[in-house]
Amino acid sequence: MRSDLMKKGVEKAPHRSLFKAMGYTQSELDRPLIGVVNSANEIIPGHIHLDKIAEGVKAGIRQAGGTPIEFSTIGVCDGIAMNHAGMRYSLASRELIADSVEIMAMAHPFDALVLIPNCDKIIPGMLMAALRLNIPSILVSGGPMLAGHVGGKPVDLISVFEGVGALKANQITAAELEELEDKACPGCGSCAGMFTANSMNCLSEALGLALPGNGTIPAVTAARVRLAKAAGVRIMDLVARDVKPRDIATQKAFENAISVDMALGCSTNTVLHVPAMAHEAGIELDLDTFNRISARTPHLCSLRPAGPHFLENLDSAGGVQAVMKELSRRGLIHLDAITATGLKVGDNLKAARVTDPEVIRPLENPYHEEGGIAVLYGNIAPEGAVVKQSAVAPEMLRRTGNARVFESENEAATAILDGKINPGDVVVVRYEGPKGGPGMQEMLTPTAAIIGLGLGRDVALLTDGRFSGGSAGAAIGHISPEAAVGGPIALIKEGDQIHIDIPNKKIDLLVDAAVLEERRKAWTPPEPRVKTGCLARYARLVTSGSHGAILTDK
């Protein structure tokens, strides 16, 4: 066993003594030692209850003959970090989480890991570590939040963000916004729509590194605790058979995950996280892979923020496994990929079925013929830009508009909420990329304000930053190269014409190439916004959003 490095032999008597100082018995030390990576804290609604999930995991490990040993990681709540300097730290936390898990599992050589995240960067950070370490691992999340209700209608966190814009537009009262604030998030769990956290939890299931149900079983249910116990039991089988993450997360498995991504209409952040995870597995996924799979994969689920359904509806309709079974009817899923269940995908899907054909539509009646995400190219984004096309109003799929240029998210959000953006404008927010931000801030406040003000069918927003999974509308992010390294987005001027053609995967600045070259000669790089601390280090090491914003050691 790997843990023998710290517990076996005469020379490890001091090590065993330290274990016994914590109350471990010799019998417990003789068993496989399983690291339980728990990101519980009291600042993220999706993590406030993870102590209960960890208890379930540990019970399953003990039941199957192992000894669980729990340790923690950090976590950032993107909703609370939104629209202030804290958001710059969110994406950077992904790398810190991966590194911290690696450090703990190398300093203390566990035989396996059970990963317990629930939100945004924590999920991919833990999976990156598991793929990097390549010791038996399984992920079990805390599950999605239930929808709230106001006036008999379901609501969620995005309803509150959009409510701010609606208040500014005098469409609702302050009392109505306060009621929304009080009722939109009724309890623990990752926010109730197909935002980044739930996107990544669903994709971890599709990838095979989490058990069926991981992406959709609600946080507050007993079924979620049972899933945690099952994960604890399953990790012991993975140890016994020496099944490692890279045995599961193969090229076929990543293609399955991207197919599910497209069918569900997941967050654009998946286009950052999935390539970063693949990189740790030694698999290169370029942006064209997403377009190729999107072109052949219909969009079957219309989930918040793009549609009316919530994660609890998807769970009741059959969950991720039912979506995969529907996709398999057209050969869009690799059925021979192995999973953490110990079975192949095809075996897992035998019991799956769709129970609500409106929540999970059949292949013959999709919400859209193409998948939820598209990668656009053009003279603004030679290396690509990403849009959740399933959340774009039909009127905005093709649009030419006037550029309104802002040098930061805060400037743009203020202008939008102050009524300075007009129908037909294309809001450009730059110097918010991985290096320039630094940290590639999410733009939920400005996109939600645009929707809340009733401009979702009239205004587009472009950025070298990124969007929350809760963003809807013509929100085009990850524009690469970013402004801070001299990307073409840095050359746009107020009033320039920008042409967007999402069906044809195009985004272009309608300015003569010679004029752009003159602007390039006059451009100078800005002073770094952050010059000390972990963000300054991150800005030096981070790569383009088109490569998953991974870190380079060069």
Q: Which residues are catalytic?
A: 468
CA atoms within 13 A on the CB side of 333: 28
If DSSP codes are grouped into helix, strand and coil, which group holds residue 118?
Answer: coil
Can you read off the two tokens belonging to residue 82? 């939104």
Phi-psi sector, 147: left (phi>0), alpha (psi -120 to 50), beta: beta
**CB environment 424-451: b (16+ within 10 A), e (fewer):** ebbbbbbbbbbbbbbbbbbbbbbbbbbb
Cross-strand partners of 35:
69, 113
Angle at 307 between CA 301 and CA 312, to 5 degrees: 65
Residue 147 DSSP symbol = P
**Strand 67-72's sheet: what is its strand order?**
67-72, 33-38, 112-116, 137-139
Distance CA 354, CA 36 (A): 33
Q: Rounded to 10 degrees, what is the CA torsion of 3, 7, 12, 14?
A: 120
Residue 32 DSSP symbol = P
CA Rg value for the chain: 23
Closest CA to 140 of 66, 79, 64, 60: 60
Can you read off the two tokens belonging to residue 161? 């963000």
| Contact yes or no for 35/108 (Cβ under 8 A) | yes
The residues, any chain, with a CB within 8 Å of residue 512's CB and separated by 6 or more, are none
Angle at 234 between CA 231 and CA 238, to 5 degrees: 130
Distance CA 360, CA 263 (A): 9
Bridge pairing between strands 67-72 and 112-116: unpaired
The residues, any chain, with a CB within 8 Å of residue 477's CB and separated by 6 or more, are 268, 385, 386, 387, 443, 462, 463, 464, 465, 466, 467, 545
User: How many other C-beta atoms can be found within 10 angstroms of the C-beta atom of residue 169?
Assistant: 15
Q: What is the DSSP string of 216-277?
A: TS-TTSHHHHHHHHHHHHHHHHHHHHT--HHHHS-HHHHHHHHHHHHHHT--TTHHHHHHHH
CA distances from 268 to 206, 243, 413, 546 (A): 17, 31, 20, 12
